[in-house]
Amino acid sequence: MKTIFRFLALAMLLATFSAANVTTSYAQDPQTEKVALYKTYTDNYAAKEIEKRQVALDAAKTYVEKFGANAEDKVEVDYFKKAIPDLEKGIANSKQAVVDQGNAAARDKLLTRFDAALKGGKNGEANPSDTYAVGKEILAKEPDFLDVILVLGSVGFDQAVANPAVDAYNDDNISFAKMAIKKLEENKPSTTKNYGASQYTYKTDKLADGKPNPNGGYADGKSNALGAMNYNIGYILYYRQGKDNPAKKKEALPYLYKSTQYNSYTKINPRIYQTIGAWYLDEAIRIDKERQVKLTANGNKDNDETLAMVGEQKGYADRAIDAYSRAYKLAKAGKPNKEYTDTLYTRLTELYKFRYDGKADGIDAFVATVDSKPFPDPTTPITPVKVEPTETTTTTTSTTEPTTKPAVKSATTPVATPVTKPAVAPKTGATKPAGTSNVDTATDGKNAVKKVIPKKKGTR
């Protein structure tokens, strides 16, 4: 720019006057200040260092502020006015880059700690305490980090199904599993593309046996994650927090049911249907206990009220038959454990005979077609069966509380109170599913049926 040469020439001239002992001080001369500001700008505006560019920016702003009204400085002022916004933006971007670098380094440290926690437990498994502690730190900075949330919705579940079970993380697991469901339903993305991290990933194309989902299509990461989170919540509520709390068992039902509604591994997990069937059976038994009290008060004779209660029991039996039929069919279709499938079929037969007054005709046909209709939502009211006074009245038997592992034998405790006519009642027994978030095991004493939800290595 020709003006800079004018300024430099002027500076040289002033220097000559100074050498000749000119008495006027050029430090106060506007022209000298312009040259100094301009040189400061040109020496620093292209520097890599943020501090030097800031010096150039300050010089440009000072020039415009002091000499912006001078006609003779119009060219320089116009240049600075155009350059200042770009220089400000560049400095701001550089400062943000420094901040981002620091944040990235801190983030990497957190994620490294998180990975270590996932392998820092017993036998290389997750250390639940460390995993939750670091995971919460990550989510405080990145609340939509879906993969971390999915991990935290799984780690506590593994502890809940351990032997012996650890319940210290139940509340945390439920909270984060619910959070994961919300994020999934909001279509938050998986950063890892695997829907989870390390051993807690839900991304897959096929089921555990390598075959397409018989209920339609291939499983996908989002569906698997939704199915797993609902199952994890339902399991903890039903089997851990619901051990002595029927309200918790009932609270578990919508989650267990939802886990069967996704194109996921949980859709073909027989133990989920078995659990829901067991709840229906418990309800039928609860009603029977109440009915026995009323029968005793009525001289051990049925009346309209007690017959209506039998109708309710049969309504629950209808639902239980549906659930156990699905459990049995899925168990047979997978890698069958004979003792487990036999137990399911025995329970199903008992329920069927109770419902149809000792008859088991049609049970196999019912099983064959059960999945051709929607699975009933257990939160919806049952349909009582109309029981006529001439119909054989019935009673059920008391339950045995489910244990951590699935039952392979029936345990029955007959009700002592007599009824007016002979009863055909379903037996009861432990019906609890077992497994971890990645392995659902049917124990037969020697072998196991595994992989309802597969483990899969993931990357951050």
Q: How confident is the model at residue 28 (pLDDT cuts 50, 70, 90)?
A: low
Over residues 224-250, mean pLDDT? 97
Q: How confident is the model at residue 22 (pLDDT cuts 50, 70, 90)?
A: very low
Model confidence pLDDT, tens digit, residues 408-431: 222 222 222 222 222 223 333 333
Cα–Cα distance between 272 and 406 in angstroms, integer?
11
Task: Give the lowest-confidence range in 81-90, 144-153, 274-283, 434-443.
Answer: 434-443
Model confidence pLDDT, tens digit, residues 113-130: 999 999 998 888 999 999
Q: What angle do CA 107, 109, 115 make, to 5 degrees?
A: 100
pLDDT of residue 100: 87
Q: How confident is the model at residue 283 (pLDDT cuts 50, 70, 90)?
A: very high
The residue ranking higher by pLDDT, 344 or 14, is 344
Cα–Cα distance between 385 and 403 in angstroms, integer?
31
pLDDT of residue 382: 97
In the predicted structure, residue 167 carries a pLDDT above the cut 90: yes
Question: Can you spell out the DSSP letters for 81-118?
Answer: HHHHHHHHHHHHHHHHHHHHHHHHHHHHHHHHHHHHHT
Model confidence pLDDT, tens digit, residues 309-356: 999 999 999 999 999 999 999 999 988 899 999 999 999 999 999 999
Please state, in angstroms and as integers, the Cα–Cα distance from residue 201 to each residue in 157, 169, 367, following that order. 14, 19, 33
Domain coordinates of the chain in residue numbers? 2-98, 128-268+449-460, 270-432
pLDDT of residue 11: 40
In the predicted structure, residue 17 carries a pLDDT above the cut 50: no
Task: Give the lowest-confidence range in 86-90, 341-345, 432-436.
Answer: 432-436
pLDDT of residue 137: 97
In the predicted structure, residue 379 carries a pLDDT above the cut 60: yes
Over residues 270-295, mean pLDDT? 97
pLDDT of residue 428: 34
Mean of pLDDT over the chain? 80
In the predicted structure, residue 18 carries a pLDDT above the cut 50: no
Assess contact for 1 and 75: CB atoms under 8 A.
Answer: yes
Provide the 3-class DSSP secondary structure of residue 121. coil
In the predicted structure, residue 308 carries a pLDDT above the cut 50: yes
Question: Can you spell out the DSSP letters for 202-218?
Answer: ---SS-TTSS--TTSS-
pLDDT of residue 415: 27
pLDDT of residue 85: 96
pLDDT of residue 218: 56
pLDDT of residue 390: 61
Q: Among residues 307, 304, 273, which one has the least CA distance to residue 287?
A: 307
Over residues 154-166, mean pLDDT? 97
Look up residue 382 and give its DSSP letter: P
In the predicted structure, residue 166 carries a pLDDT above the cut 70: yes
Over residues 87-96, mean pLDDT? 94
Residues with Cβ within 8 Å of residue 271, at least 6 apart in sequence: 327, 406, 433, 434, 435, 440, 442, 452
Give the tokens for residue 212.
Answer: 């397409």
Over residues 40-49, mean pLDDT? 94
Q: Among residues 184, 169, 173, which one has the least CA distance to residue 151?
A: 173
Look up residue 380 and give its DSSP letter: S
Q: Determine what percent of the chain is predicted with pLDDT higher than 90.
A: 68
Assess contact for 56 and 41: CB atoms under 8 A.
Answer: yes
Q: Which long-range contacts (CB under 8 A, 24 or more apart) does 163-172 make?
A: 163/404, 163/405, 165/240, 165/404, 166/128, 167/240, 167/241, 168/128, 169/128, 169/132, 170/236, 170/240, 170/241, 172/132
Q: What angle do CA 135, 136, 142 make, to 5 degrees?
A: 85
Assess contact for 88 and 57: CB atoms under 8 A.
Answer: yes
Over residues 8-33, mean pLDDT? 48
Model confidence pLDDT, tens digit, residues 355-367: 999 999 999 999 9
133 φ, ψ (degrees, to nearest 5)? -65, -50
pLDDT of residue 123: 86
pTM of the model: 0.72
Question: Can you spell out the DSSP letters for 128-193?
Answer: HHHHHHHHHHHHHH-TT-HHHHHHHHHHHHHHHTSSS---TTHHHHHHHHHHHHHHHHTTPPPSSS
Over residues 199-214, mean pLDDT? 64
How many other CB atoms are found less than 10 A from the CB of residue 293? 11
Cα–Cα distance between 145 and 69 in angstroms, integer?
54
